[in-house]
Amino acid sequence: MISDGLRDALATWLDGLRAIDGAAENTIEAYRKDVAGFLGFLALHHGGAEGRAVLARLTLQDMRAWMAWERGRGLSARSLARALSAVKSFMRWASERDGFDPTAVLAARAPKFRGKLPRPLAEDAAREVIASVEAQAAEPWVAARDMAVVTLLYACGLRISEALGLTGADAPLPATLRIRGKGGKERMVPVLPAAQQAVEAYRRLCPHDLTAEAPLFRGVRGGALSPRVVQKVMETVRLQLGLPATATPHALRHSFATHLLAAGGDLRSIQELLGHASLSTTQAYTAVDTARLMEVYAAAHPRA
């Protein structure tokens, strides 16, 4: 049971993240769940709900007890590291507001885990996917729509939410597109002619009125296109082509980055194109490129 004081503190912190930092609602909900779980543990650990003063009394032993408890519940190392990051962020805010030293909490170390590498498609597979998507729908405008969406994901490295967030005001697509990504951060993304042409082909065939303020990509009934529709099309295509389950719409974004890196693109530029807040996130693609190089080496190197 979390005390009213701690519950109010959590709500105020989340409101600040939403209003000041522009955090996405999915991020807000993840933070709320992680920190609420931590505060709930403190109530159990200390034998009852306590007010905000408990935050100033936390020790490194308290933090270790919480992490051991979470691991005992089956929480993965990756998820625990994410939760610890959220708790530390909350505690920094609370310490500045209430004037206490959060060192004990900030000193807690996250469990080590091996990060998953992005799973891009090979260049020929990416081209086959895009070509095959157009053949899935019986309605020509729906086929053109699906083709336009997946082309944007691969040609511009967009997240599916970013592609489906475009409105009629964004078309015809300019040579450089302003994209609002995670946390409301904006970036400029070059648009290849292939993507411009695919979107224009869809617009010509679309039976719905694509007004400036309405979504650019529409469902059959005229509402905003659901990400699930695109995911289902990709599921069908990957089965037809014999591709692995990792061949998802997001894999096209991974493919954009990996193929750009292989062609000589530098990490900083790719980071900006993808909208990654940290260069370390983009650096995962160098590991993918190295792993692929070693596969080629192992297959081609002459053996004695």
CATH number of the domain that residue 171 is part of: 1.10.443.10
- Domain contains 226: yes
Give pLDDT, residue 18: 81
102 and 180: one domain? no
Q: Among 107-111, 172-176, 218-222, whose mean pLDDT is lowest?
A: 107-111
- Please check whether residues 68 and 29 belong to one and the same domain: yes
Domain assignment of residue 117, yes or no? no
Residues 79 and 157 in one domain: no
The answer to whether 33 is a known catalytic residue is: no
pLDDT of 143 higher than 90:
yes
Give the bridge partners for 179, in sequence order: 187
Pick from 21, 10, 8: which is nearest to 86 by CA? 10
Are 139 and 277 in a shared domain?
yes
Least confident of 47-56, 111-120, 167-176: 111-120
128 and 8, same structural domain?
A: no
Q: How far apart are CA 205 and CA 197, in angstroms?
A: 13
Domain identity same for 162 and 85: no
Number of domains in the chain: 2
Determine, yes or no, domain membership for 93. yes
Last residue of a domain, one of 55, 79, 106: 106
State pLDDT tens for residues 56-66: 889 999 899 99
Is 301 part of the annotated catalytic residue set? no
The pLDDT of residue 204: 95
Q: Which of 45, 77, 106 is the last residue of a domain?
A: 106
Point out the catalytic residue in the list 203, 218, 259, 276.
276
pLDDT tens-place string over residues 78-104: 888 888 989 999 999 999 998 999 998
Distances (CA, A) of 166 to 64, 146, 152, 184, 212: 45, 14, 11, 14, 10
235-256 tens-digit pLDDT: 999 899 888 887 888 888 888 7
Please report whether residue 33 resides in a domain.
Answer: yes
Range of the domain at 44: 4-106
Q: Is 294 exposed, middle or buried (0-12, 13-18, 19+ CB in 10 A)?
A: exposed
Catalytic residue, from 159, 203, 218, 238: name it.
159
Region class of 119: left (phi > 0), else alpha (psi between -120 and 50), else beta: beta
| Residue 118 included in any domain | no
Whether residue 36 sits in one domain with residue 130: no
In angstroms, the CA 186 to CA 161 distance is 14
Position 9 in a domain: yes
Give strand pairing partners of 177: 189
In the residue annotation, 253 being an active-site residue is answered as yes
Q: Is 182 a catalytic residue?
A: yes
pTM assigned to the model:
0.57
Q: Are residues 80 and 186 in the same domain?
A: no
Q: What is the CATH number of the domain that holds 13?
A: 1.10.150
**Same domain, residue pair 202 and 135:** yes
112 is a catalytic site residue = no
Question: Who has greater pLDDT, 163 or 276?
Answer: 163
pLDDT of residue 126: 84
Out of 182, 187, 208, 292, the active site residue is 182
Residue finishing a domain among 76, 106, 136: 106
pLDDT of the residue at 289: 47
Residue 216 belongs to a domain: yes
Q: How many CB atoms lie within 10 A of CB 297?
A: 9
